[in-house]
């Protein structure tokens, strides 16, 4: 999405795009079947502009990608890791053609969702964007749909909202230390008929990425999270037309919603 004036060697672009090893693509280039801007190029070391040039191989247009940006509706039962263990990884949900190293780097997730957490997950090879969106400096908002185990009456609801707005102290868990969390925003929702696990439903917006933060916040308030789904990161909302486990590339408009920050945060 980000405009670039980078150039890269033709053989590296072709190899990265799935046309075989460097040896394979050198043979392909020298065959005269590779066109750059409509003209045959037989030099594998020819530098192609990522932004400006067009590439055609054996009559088929090839999209040159420096980075990839995918929106995944993460299902429960998958971990945000490149290595599988007790659970499969979210990268197993990608098509083989997308699950590769890009010219700009390897794929990674922007932040992590627990194995039992669903919803919006961004997978990208853009390390700079990943760093900016996860840096505590920017306090990027992330909104979650939450189901709670215990009913919450009107007075308690007001107390939850006020406590979270002030910032809640969460106890240590696993390797994560006890900490005072940044203020968070809470919005109560109606319990729907299909919310079978929910005695109460709400949306919470947090501005940092502490380990199990949302679960620990509600534990500190005396409740238990039974279902958790991320629905927003920065200004980008999950496309609800994506079924659990489905993904697609971000549009230019969605990329801007995700990536645009200002000097005071988002």
Which listed residue (53, 98, 114, 116) is catalytic? 114
**106 is an active site residue:** no
Rounded to the nearest 10 degrees, the angle between the axes of helix 252-259 and helix 127-134 is 40
Supply the residues annotated as catalytic.
114
């Amino acid at each position: 999405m980000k405009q670039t004036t980078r150039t890269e060697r033709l053989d590296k672009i072709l190899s990265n795009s799935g046309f075989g090893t460097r040896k394979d693509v050198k043979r392909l280039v020298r065959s005269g079947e590779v066109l750059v801007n409509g003209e045959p190029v037989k030099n594998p070391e020819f530098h192609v502009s990522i932004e400006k040039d067009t590439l055609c191989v054996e009559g088929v247009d090839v999209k040159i990608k420096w980075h990839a940006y995918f929106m995944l509706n993460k299902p429960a039962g998958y971990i945000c890791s490149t290595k599988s263990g007790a659970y499969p990884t979210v990268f197993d949900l990608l098509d083989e053609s997308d699950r590769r190293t890009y010219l700009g780097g390897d794929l990674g997730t922007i932040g992590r969702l627990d194995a039992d957490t669903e919803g919006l997950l961004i997978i990208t090879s853009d390390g700079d964007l990943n760093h900016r969106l996860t840096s505590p400096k920017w306090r990027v908002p992330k909104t979650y749909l939450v189901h709670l185990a215990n009913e919450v009456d009107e007075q308690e609801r007001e107390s939850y909202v006020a406590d979270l707005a002030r910032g809640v102290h969460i106890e240590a868990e696993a390797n994560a230390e006890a900490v005072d969390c940044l203020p968070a925003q809470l919005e109560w929702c109606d319990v729907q008929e299909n919310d079978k696990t929910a005695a109460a439903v709400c949306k919470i917006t947090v501005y940092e990425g502490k380990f199990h933060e949302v679960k620990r916040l509600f534990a500190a308030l005396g409740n238990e999270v039974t279902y958790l789904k991320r629905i927003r990161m920065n200004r980008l909302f999950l496309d609800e037309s994506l079924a659990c486990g489905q993904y697609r590339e971000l549009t230019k408009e969605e990329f801007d919603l995700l990536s645009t920050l200002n000097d005071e945060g988002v």
